[in-house]
Amino acid sequence: MSLLHSYVKVRARERGRALPRATVRHIHLAEAPMVFVPLRLAGEAAAPLAAMVGTDPLHPTLLVVPQPRNRDLRFQFLADLGAVLLPYIDRISRQVETVEAKTPFDRCLDAPQIVVPSAGGVEFTAKLGRSSRFRRTTGPYAVEPAVPMLGRWLTFLAEQSEFAGSSLMVAMTDLLTAHWVTGQSAPEDGDLAALLGWIDPPDGMTGPEAAALADDPLTPPAGPDTHPEFDRQELQKAIEHYDVTGSTDQVEQALHGQLRPTWDRMWQAIGLLAALKESPGATARWERDRVHVAMHRAWIDGGGLPQGKRDSAVAAAKRLARLEAAQQSFEATRAFDDPLVMAEYRADGVAFAGEVVAVDLTRRIVPPGGKREVPRPLVTIETSDPVRLGRGKKVRSPSRPRQSATITAISEKIITVQIDDGMGRGAQPAEGSVPGVGTVICYTELDPGESRRAPLPPREETPWTHGGPPPEYVPTDDDAMEPWS
């Protein structure tokens, strides 16, 4: 968040309509995204109640658990969900290319993309994954083979979603708030209907009017939690009807009514996002997503075990480091790809933009630790941004992302940077390698380069302070039979 963001919120409030927060789309949109709108039974950790799922906006598949307290019906639901999701995942993840590199690696040609309404949907998906990936397909409490396989993929996708910028499993409200600013608060933006009301209200309505409709009892919540009044007045009766008659009609009808509006909104939102041009960073991150899918595919096909319940100390630390690196690189790339995102950093003083007013191309110095004189030209920029960077700060420019520079002098409105590299091997900087007078340029401390990871000991060298080397997690009979009540 930034002062700019707060200002735009105020302006959106006054205007009665959301305003753009990005000029390009910072996530990849798959050709056929799989929309997944799950609901759970209130008061339960991971009791699925229903879901609307599919890749065709006009023909969603509705899955329900007519009696959510019945364990067998819950697993039947997961098997049915697997019958929709697994063929989709399999078809896409089995098409693999080998990328030539120092160490060649596999990458899927495309990747699955699951879109859920909100962060709560991602969390619930992770719980569904946890509750099904250890299930056995033989012996006592056997489930259909699709169930544990679905559990492993859902776990994988939910884990990937924690990495900033991954597009494999995304929450629609997160995507929309990354691209638009509404005139309501963050918790209200968590409601898909209200959020979309601000961004794309129906004809003749203002944003706040459309958002107010989301508070109407007739507008079902986007899940995974249902409206308590719906539970009391409709669902309870429908379930009783099923208990008595064995007919799922009423339950299906009631849940269809709750899910369909959200389903339609999901596609409306996808349409809005699709209208934005994809940023180069998003395309690059999707390539990485495709590598991760290929790796997981290979792990499963090679007979690898399902994900453990907990990470070992080293795995947890590594994961944290990777999460942080992904976050940093995502934030920087977004700013480099999009002047509107960069404007937020300029407002907060960690980036600045302005016109080059002077250039000293002939300056040569002996860099610290060096022996020979090398060219280190100075570029002076005039800016009206409230810069909070200090002397000696390493900076980069989105227009020359591969060149690093250092701030050497800073005074009100005038900043001088020294260009450190990317000028060729000659005694003078190569033609065009240094910004010329009159150029408008932006510099920032952000660095989109993959940040270096702190080296961590390999698994077998886990220090004793962290419990020593962890045993490989092997699911037990108890995992498979874990009662599900």
Q: Please give the full DSSP string across 380-423, using - where no structure is assigned.
A: EEE--S-----TT-EEEETTEEEEEEEEEEEETTEEEEEE-S-S
CA angle 394, 400, 403 (to 5 degrees): 45
When asked if residue 467 is in the footprint of another protein (CB under 8 A), the reply is: no
Give whichever of 35 and 273 is closer to another protein, judged by the CB atom: 273
Which of the residues 173 through 212 are near another protein (CB under 8 A)? 183-188, 208
Q: How far is the CB of 382 from another protein (least distance, A)?
A: 15
Which of the residues 131 through 170 are near another protein (CB under 8 A)? 131, 139-140
First to last CA, the chain: 42
When asked if residue 453 is in the footprint of another protein (CB under 8 A), the reply is: no
Give whichever of 88 and 345 is closer to another protein, judged by the CB atom: 345
CA angle 227, 230, 234 (to 5 degrees): 160
Q: How far is the CB of 262 from another protein (least distance, A)?
A: 16
When asked if residue 471 is in the footprint of another protein (CB under 8 A), the reply is: no
Is 181 in contact with 21 (CB distance < 8 Å)?
yes
When asked if residue 127 is in the footprint of another protein (CB under 8 A), the reply is: yes
- Listed residue (98, 122, 120, 63) closest to 255, CA to CA: 63
When asked if residue 331 is in the footprint of another protein (CB under 8 A), the reply is: no
Q: Burial, 290: exposed, middle or buried (Cβ in 10 Å; 0-12, 13-18, 19+)?
A: buried
When asked if residue 20 is in the footprint of another protein (CB under 8 A), the reply is: yes
By DSSP bridging, strand 378-382 and strand 351-360 are: antiparallel
When asked if residue 10 is in the footprint of another protein (CB under 8 A), the reply is: yes
Sole window of 30-38, 227-235, 252-260, 466-474 interacting with another protein (rule: CB under 8 A)? 227-235
Residues 137, 236, 283, 399: which binds another protein (CB under 8 A)?
Answer: 236
Q: Please give the full DSSP string across 28-91, using - where no structure is assigned.
A: ---SS-EEEEEEE-TT-SS-EEEEEEES-TTSPEEEE-SSTT-HHHHHHHHHHHHHHHHHHHHH
Chain-centre distance for alpha carbon 146: 26
When asked if residue 98 is in the footprint of another protein (CB under 8 A), the reply is: no
When asked if residue 325 is in the footprint of another protein (CB under 8 A), the reply is: no
Give whichever of 408 and 439 is closer to another protein, judged by the CB atom: 439
Which of the residues 401 through 440 are near another protein (CB under 8 A)? none
397: left (phi over 0), alpha (psi -120 to 50) or beta: beta
69: left (phi over 0), alpha (psi -120 to 50) or beta: alpha
Is 182 in contact with 18 (CB distance < 8 Å)?
yes
Tokens of 145: 């083979």
Residues 110, 231, 445, 447: which binds another protein (CB under 8 A)?
Answer: 231
Total residues interacting with another protein, rule: CB under 8 A: 63
CA distance 16 to 217: 23
When asked if residue 257 is in the footprint of another protein (CB under 8 A), the reply is: no
Q: How far is the CB of 282 from another protein (least distance, A)?
A: 18
Residues 267, 299, 473, 484: which binds another protein (CB under 8 A)?
Answer: 484
Give whichever of 103 and 411 is closer to another protein, judged by the CB atom: 411
Neighbour tally for 436: CB within 10 Å: 11
Tokens of 377: 């030209």
Q: How far is the CB of 265 from another protein (least distance, A)?
A: 18
Residues 32, 119, 340, 456: which binds another protein (CB under 8 A)?
Answer: 340
When asked if residue 216 is in the footprint of another protein (CB under 8 A), the reply is: yes
Residues 14, 100, 431, 472: which binds another protein (CB under 8 A)?
Answer: 14
Give whichever of 217 and 369 is closer to another protein, judged by the CB atom: 217
Q: Dihedral of CA 112/113/116/120: which sign?
A: positive
When asked if residue 23 is in the footprint of another protein (CB under 8 A), the reply is: yes
Q: How far is the CB of 226 from another protein (least distance, A)?
A: 7
When asked if residue 485 is in the footprint of another protein (CB under 8 A), the reply is: yes
Interface with another protein by CB under 8 A: which residues? 1-4, 6-11, 13-14, 19-20, 23, 41-46, 68, 127, 130-131, 139-140, 183-188, 208, 215-217, 226-229, 231-232, 235-236, 309-310, 339-340, 342-343, 346-347, 353, 384-386, 477-478, 482-485
